[in-house]
Amino acid sequence: MQTVTTPNISAELRQRLANAKRVLVLTGAGVSAESGVPTFRGGGNTATWKGLPFEVISSGTMLERNLPLVWEWFDYRRETLRSLKPNAAHEAIARWQERFAELTVVTQNIDGLHQRAGSRHVVELHGNIWRARCAVCRLSHEIPAAGTRPGACEECGNALRPDVVLFGEILPAGAFEFGAQRAAACEVCFVVGTSGLVYPAASLPEIAKAAGAFVCEVNPERTALSDRCDEVLTGKAGDILSAL
């Protein structure tokens, strides 16, 4: 029999959640870990591919140098994602839409699992692996889960690239700004399954805290952000968010 320990949730967090209208959730790779998606840091299998560290292959520099190799890397990643499903953490976050007057989900993940669990209006800071975009006119193209990805832009015929944000690249217009605006206005901010190392995403909890929000981290390990959170719930996102 599987035992699930109830996390030690403070009375203050319970009270704040009972009164909260505006809640922001920032998620990272750890929220998809229980679906079987490898994280980038601290284990998993994504850290290197064909001997290349992910910071090298998932970079704007590599895209300029070798687009076919970058496509190969994302084709491989889509293949591993194809059969995976949202987990209890994605589902709990989707249910919070009915619980709070204004729930903002800001994710660094590119896997689309929040949307598949039913979350609407997810702010994708780092793009989506199920889309390609034209390197010239930026037109977005869906990549079907079954079948082959589009070869060239249907508008201008130029090369397509994965619609994800690589190291050294700029985030999608308005995405971070929208997240920052919601962070500054929220009452409770959850930071779930992220190492908090990648900017500007990692600045959202800081913006929330500076504006007076209660910041709560959910992670089995301590992170770069732990010391600046008001509460740290240690454990897996699926267990803790379901209990909350």
- Rule CB under 5 A: which of 130-159 touch Zn ion? 134, 136-137, 139, 153, 155-156, 158
Nearer to ligand BJW, 103 or 129 (CB): 129
Strand partners, 142: 131
Residue 58 makes contact with ligand BJW by CB under 6 A = yes
Nearer to Zn ion, 48 or 158 (CB): 158
Which residue of the set 90, 114, 121, 126 is catalytic?
126
Select the span of 24-32, 145-153, 180-188, 204-212 touching ligand BJW (CB under 6 A): 24-32
Instruction: Please confirm, yes or no, whether 141 is among the known catalytic residues.
Output: no
Binding site partner of 39, from ligand BJW, Zn ion, none, Cβ cut-off 5-8 A by kind: ligand BJW
State which of residues 8, 197, 210, 212 lies at the interface with ligand BJW (CB under 6 A).
197
Compute the distance between CA of residue 234 and CA of residue 208 in angstroms, rounded to an integer: 21
Strand ranges in the chain using DSSP code E only, listed in sequence order: 22-27, 48-49, 52-53, 102-107, 123-124, 127-134, 140-142, 160-164, 188-192, 214-219, 231-234
Residue 90 in 3-state DSSP?
Answer: helix
Find where tokens 């700004």 sit: 177
The secondary structure of 125-172, three-state, reads CCEEEEEEEECCCCCEEECCCCCCCCCECCCCCCEEEEEECCECCCCC
Compute the distance between CA of residue 191 and CA of residue 217 in angstroms, rounded to an integer: 5
Crossing angle of helices 203-210 and 175-185, rounded to 10°: 30
Residue 47 makes contact with ligand BJW by CB under 6 A = no
Residue 29 makes contact with ligand BJW by CB under 6 A = yes
Find the farthest-apart pair of alpha carbons in the chain and give their distance in angstroms, rounded: 58
Residue 126 makes contact with ligand BJW by CB under 6 A = yes
Binding site partner of 134, from ligand BJW, Zn ion, none, Cβ cut-off 5-8 A by kind: Zn ion
Binding site partner of 195, from Zn ion, ligand BJW, none, Cβ cut-off 5-8 A by kind: ligand BJW
Residues at the contact surface with ligand BJW, assessed by CB under 6 A: 28-30, 33-34, 39-42, 54, 58, 108, 110, 126, 164-170, 193-195, 197-200, 218-221, 223, 236-237
Where in the sequence numbering do the catalytic residues fall? 126
